[in-house]
Amino acid sequence: MMNGDKKDTSASASGRERADWTLRQKLGQMVMCGFDGTAPTEGILRLIREYRLGGIIYFRRNIGRAAEVAELSRRLREANDALGGPPLWIAVDQEGGMVARVDREVALAPGNMALGAAGKPELTYEAARISGVELRQMGINLNFAPCVDVNNNPANPVVGVRSFGENPELVASLGAAAARGYQEVGVSACAKHFPGHGDTAADSHHELPLVPHSRERLEQVELPPFRSAILAGVDAIMTAHVRFPACDPGGVPATLSPAILGGLLRKELGYKGVIVTDCLEMNAISQTVGVGRGAVLAVAAGADMVLVSHREDRQVEALEALYTAVESGELPMARIDEAVGRILRAKIWREEVWRQTEAAGVRLVGDEASCRWVEETAERCVTLVRAEPGALPLRADAPTLVVWPEVRRSTEVDEVIPQELTLGWALAPYVADVCEMVIGTEPTAAEQAAVLAAARGGRLQIVAGVYNAAFALGQASLVQALAALPGATVTAVALRNPYDLLAMPQVHAYAACYENRPPMLLAAAKVLAGRVPPQGRLPVSLSAEYPAGWGMDSLQ
């Protein structure tokens, strides 16, 4: 938490610094932008140079090897420091698990729902601390994590396993632990998406979702994790492009709502840190009020920093729109100074925390001890939901058919990368003869026919990985067809969405892994082979038979 004499000194220093700043220098601190490539582009350098840009956001398009990321950060910081201004925020969405922009040469921690299945705040804290140290060594000092949305809608297309679960108390506890873990090693944490994106059935990347619940319900479900994060001293909170009529009857999305940002978050919840918007290029904003107007309305509502992740023309549009709004009197100068002051206090204090952490000695990126911790923690997350007698453990001497759903379609949240390490790779040490067949997450008729032919060929011990099969019924129908084969034993392994069981209730065994990252695949293989006991508990309810908190303790 930012407190004590050092915080006060930093605050006064930041005030003296900006006394001589121009309006454009102040507004530049309030905008964060992205760019293409693993080297600084002339466009992003120009924004730093001419607009005194306050922050950069990395996506997978910017990520190479760890040393290359560190070099990219160094060059960006060098360009910023040459101007004599405050530190540059370099941000990333490193939530863990399925949403991790940096996933090579690091100790990639389990994602939120996997950690929710483990249910231990101390594990979530340590996952964030390890990740924070690695991010800082690569020059990244702001993480847009943790996601503290309460996922109680199985149809949610954008949050899902990014949530710790459906229980507000669990989400609040683990979210606060994650914020502390990041910030205690000098990385600003950002709780998102305020006031809650968990109970939507629409994706704000594409449209403007609605949460229709009463204020009483929001107090019970959506708001407790944010209250907990505020008490933990979280440096930043990200807004949701979602409508909450109970808070703003006019239907204005939270990002643009004075009632939600200035009223609910600032006045009622007492939040004093940085409010940052989700990306204004998402359709919920860009295709309604537009990016430039959205930036002005967001700042007027109470946002301190606006995020424009992709197009340079839209980034300039936002910067110029803010300038025009101040010059015309629409945005008061006091609102700008207030926002810049919050941003500088967070930046300067975290730099001091990192200097202290670094001086005390820290582990290297992807060091052996951290990777071992991740592997052991993954074993505590795998949840065995059902297993008929005799279905598990897998027979070591039986030929095994493994179905691997290859993710081929990119989304805004999860940038798809080629994955050489598969479920078959993880199971190979434990069964005698593995035949792995690759299908798409939307399997073709030919792919389904080939898998069924292989199963009929005598491979009747079947392990079927499923990936969001509740939204891709081709996968579900294939697994059901496999389970119907005479003599077949089918174990389904949910590689993302635990709700997939509802689309294939006939399977003989079902394990939830919450992600398809290598440490979790290794952990799942050990559980299915009987090498380690299942320990995870469902952080969400699948049905009355399998409620939140359910999980088998053994294979029998």
Q: Residues, the chain, total?
A: 556
Question: Is residue 346 a contact partner of residue 236, using CB atoms and an 8 Å limit?
Answer: yes
For 418-469, give the DSSP string.
-----HHHHHTTTSSEEEEEEEESS--HHHHHHHHHHHHTT--EEEEEESST
Please list, in sequence order, all residues whose beta carbon lies within 8 angstroms of the beta carbon of residue 251, skipping any fewer than 6 positions away: 243, 245
The DSSP bridge pattern shows strands 489-494 and 142-143 to be unpaired
- Asked if residue 40 has a cis previous peptide bond (ω within 30° of 0), the answer is no
Active site residue 278: yes
Q: Say which of 93, 199, 203, 278 is annotated catalytic.
A: 278
Question: Is residue 392 a contact partner of residue 489, using CB atoms and an 8 Å limit?
Answer: no
Q: Say which of 205, 206, 337, 367 is annotated catalytic.
A: 205
Amino acid at 456: R
91 strand-pairing partners: 57, 142
Amino acid at 519: P
Please report, for residues 42, 203, 415, the alpha-carbon distance to residue 48 in angstroms, rounded to integers and kept in the order given.
10, 31, 26
Please list, in sequence order, all residues whose beta carbon lies within 8 angstroms of the beta carbon of residue 273, skipping any fewer than 6 positions away: 2, 230, 233, 234, 235, 236, 237, 342, 346
Active site residue 206: no
What's the half-sphere exposure (Cβ side, CA atoms, 13 Å) at 128?
35
CA of residue 454 relative to chain centroid, distance: 37
Amino acid at 430: Y
Q: Which residues are catalytic?
A: 205, 278
